[in-house]
Amino acid sequence: MGFTMGLNLVLLLAMVATNILSLYHLSTTTLIHSSTPPTATPPPVPDYLIRQLQTIRATISHLTRHHPSTSNPTSSTPTTGIPQDLLLHSRLSPIGSSCHNHPDLLHRYMNYTPFSICPHDPDLQETLILHGCQPLPRRRCFSRTPLKPSSSLPLNPFPSSLPDSNLIWTHYSCKTFSCLNHQNPLLGFDPARESTSSFMAFRSELDLPVPQLLQIAKAANSLIRLGLDVGGATGSFAARMKLYNITVVTTTMNLGAPYSEAAALRGLVPLHVPLQQRLPVFDGVLDLVRCGHAVNRWIPVTMMEFLFFDVDRVLRAGGYLWLDRFFSKRSDLDNVYGPLIGKLGYKKVKWATADKPNSKNGEVYLTALLQKPVSK
Ligand SMILES: *[C@@H]1O[C@H](CO)[C@@H](O)[C@H](O)[C@H]1NC(C)=O
């Protein structure tokens, strides 16, 4: 009884959370896209929003009538088929509502034998994380390790090669780094290839070579020591910065290739964090955040707004946001993304745009270096 009620409550909480979220999203999206001046009367609230609100109110009053049971889930009779750890974690972190939206996946993920070897399910984990189930519940099992890892790891972040034997290749079609390079030399699995040129050359206004970046910061009396690279694949930017004794951590996902492992083999910290997650660092602690190719017009505008505001949260006063080749349609840059970036109120240290080569949709690249104001 305690079980079912607990689970019901969790599901209800999940529903409330998602509804509130979608309401918020819907309302902010409306704000962004509406071009009506603030003095005009607000548009009437659509019926479906009112219906959602009523559902939320009904759910909340339901919840307040039924207070959460205090019985310990592990002490009651187990409901057949529900993994114990799933129930335990539902209780510990009821806010992770996105996990509950994918009970089939979560059920598979939590279906393992405690204290033995975990199922090898990195794809399942990525799928759950990308659906917003982040952080994933912890498990009490041992993750697999490669059979014969090499003990000679490179100290240089641009090694001539990465050791193939240090990761598990079973779920990839390629079984070596050279195979990945062969498939696409631009994915960053050949660090030696980048050793001289990456983040160093100035070929067009869209480039911001690291020496120039550091010069700009120095001239503004703003030291760069700590940074975060959003969606930084195999950590190429962090690798370059390491040569300047600057610490950069990289958020990266293993989308079809072992980006996290490659970054780690270069001696760089890979944070397994999707774009929609709150950055796992405290407010005002970073000198620099770089957003590379991963941050582009494919991200829904509302989510991008949350991302930028989260970047603002983690940057210290005087810190820099570097949008490196952000691509969008030119009209969207003028009407949507430009104003969105403007909301941050940052100083435009650099703002360069250029047509994206061979683009059918009239797309442009933007490279911008923006400095967070010292006081707000
Ligand atoms: C980085 O630190 C090392 C060790 O302290 C030092 O030898 C090197 O000159 C530094 N490099 C730069 C670019 O400051």
Selected residue with higher pLDDT from 96 and 240: 240
Which numbered atom of ligand 1 lies nearest the CA of 245?
Answer: 1
Percent of the chain scoring above 70 in pLDDT: 74
Residue 35 — very low, low, confident or very high, per pLDDT cuts 50/70/90? Answer: very low
Percent of the chain scoring above 90 in pLDDT: 61
Mean pLDDT of the chain: 83
Cα angle, residue 194 at apex, residues 188 and 197 outer, rounded to 5°: 140
Q: pLDDT of 329-375, one tens digit each? A: 999 999 999 999 999 999 999 999 999 988 888 899 999 999 999 97
pLDDT of residue 64: 53
Q: Does residue 244's CB lie within 6 angstroms of at least one atom of ligand 1?
A: yes
Residue 51 — very low, low, confident or very high, per pLDDT cuts 50/70/90? Answer: low
Residue 144 clears pLDDT 70, i.e. is over it: yes
pLDDT of residue 168: 96
Residue 246 clears pLDDT 90, i.e. is over it: yes
Whole-angstrom Cα distance, residue 340 to residue 29? 12
Please list the alpha-helical segments (H only) found in 140-220: 177-183, 210-219
Q: pLDDT of 174-185, one tens digit each? A: 999 999 999 999
Q: pLDDT of 59-76, one tens digit each? A: 555 555 544 444 444 444
Whole-angstrom Cα distance, residue 95 to residue 135? 11
Q: What is the 205 CA–ligand 1 centroid distance (Å)?
A: 29
Selected residue with higher pLDDT from 256 and 56: 256
Architecture of the domain spanning 197-231+275-371: 3-Layer(aba) Sandwich (3.40)
Residue 38 clears pLDDT 70, i.e. is over it: no
Q: What is the 172 CA–ligand 1 centroid distance (Å)?
A: 38
pLDDT of residue 223: 95
pLDDT of residue 197: 87
For ligand 1, atom 11: residue with the closest CA: 244
E strands, the chain, are 226-230, 247-251, 270-271, 286-291, 315-329, 347-355, 363-371
| Long-range contacts formed by 341-350: CB under 8 A, 24+ apart | 341/308, 341/368, 341/370, 343/305, 343/308, 344/308, 344/309, 344/312, 344/370, 344/372, 345/373, 345/376, 346/321, 346/370, 346/371, 346/372, 346/373, 347/371, 347/373, 349/216, 349/220, 349/320, 350/208, 350/216
pLDDT of residue 352: 98
Query: Ligand 1, from 244, 245, 246, 247: best to mutate by most atoms within 8 Å of Cβ?
Result: 245
Q: Which residue has the tokens 């603030």?
A: 38
Residue 25 clears pLDDT 60, i.e. is over it: no
Q: Does residue 75's CB lie within 6 angstroms of at least one atom of ligand 1?
A: no
Q: What is the 239 CA–ligand 1 centroid distance (Å)?
A: 14
- 3 state SS of 263: helix
For ligand 1, atom 12: residue with the closest CA: 244
Q: What is the 224 CA–ligand 1 centroid distance (Å)?
A: 15
Residue 52 — very low, low, confident or very high, per pLDDT cuts 50/70/90? Answer: low
Per-residue pLDDT, averaged over 279-286, amounts to: 97
Which numbered atom of ligand 1 lies nearest the CA of 244?
Answer: 13
Residue 45 — very low, low, confident or very high, per pLDDT cuts 50/70/90? Answer: low
Which numbered atom of ligand 1 lies nearest the CA of 243?
Answer: 13
Q: pLDDT of 288-342, one tens digit each? A: 999 998 898 888 898 899 999 999 999 999 999 999 999 999 999 999 999 999 9
Indicate yes or no: pTM above 0.85. no
Amino acid at 307: L
Selected residue with higher pLDDT from 161 and 85: 161
Residue 82 clears pLDDT 90, i.e. is over it: no
Q: Does residue 225's CB lie within 6 angstroms of at least one atom of ligand 1?
A: no
